Every structure is written in C-alpha cells, then in structure tokens.
Amino acid sequence: MSAREYYHHVMWYTVWDAKTGELVAAGASAMCAAKLGYKNAVSFSAAVCHWFKDGKKHLKYIYQREYIPRSEVDGLIPPAHRKRKKACPCANTDKPKG
C-alpha cells in the first residue's frame, strides 16, 4: 500500500468475543485499545498483528481489520497528539561570553 493510501485511509478494527461471538469493540486502534484495556494503540496493533500471523487457535478475541476512507470517520477519531521535545541548549550560543 502506498503512502498516499495511508493518508487517505484509516485502519478500522472490529473485535468479537471468541466464545460468545458478541461484538466487543470497533474503531481505530486507539479506540479499541482504550475499550479493551491495552496500554496504548501500538500495543493493540501489535497484538492484532500477532493474532493474524500466529497459527494457534485463539481463545479470547476474533479480529477483523480493513481500510476505510478517512472521510467516513473524521468525526470519530480524535486527532493524534504528539509530545513536543524541548530543544537542546546549544553550548556556544546559549551562554553569554566573558
């Protein structure tokens, strides 16, 4: 998938309980991670990736993931917040000479 498609599409996850078959969570990775109690969206995405690659029978959840147009979910997904790092002080310009 090209970088352009990642910008215009978003990964949408649907999670069902493996025993009962009822819907547990649906949404972007951050939304599902919060609903299922994962630490963050990256850990949820990694768990889903391992689920798809693993050949074992999974007992807790059944996952489905698909790309959908970002325009369909613009109001549902909160904007990504990134922490800004403070600039490192430069040794030769930040201190007065003399």
pLDDT tens per residue across span 52-94? 887 566 678 888 888 888 777 766 665 555 566 666 666 666 5
Report the alpha-carbon distance of residue 48 to residue 53 in Å, rounded.
9
- The model's pLDDT over 4-23, given as tens digits with 9 standing for 90+, comes to 555 677 889 999 998 899 99
What's phi and psi for 80, nearest 5 deg?
-70, 130
Q: How high is the pLDDT of residue 5?
A: 57
Report the alpha-carbon distance of residue 9 to residue 5 in Å, rounded.
6
Kindly list the domain boundaries of the chain, sorted by start residue. Answer: 3-72
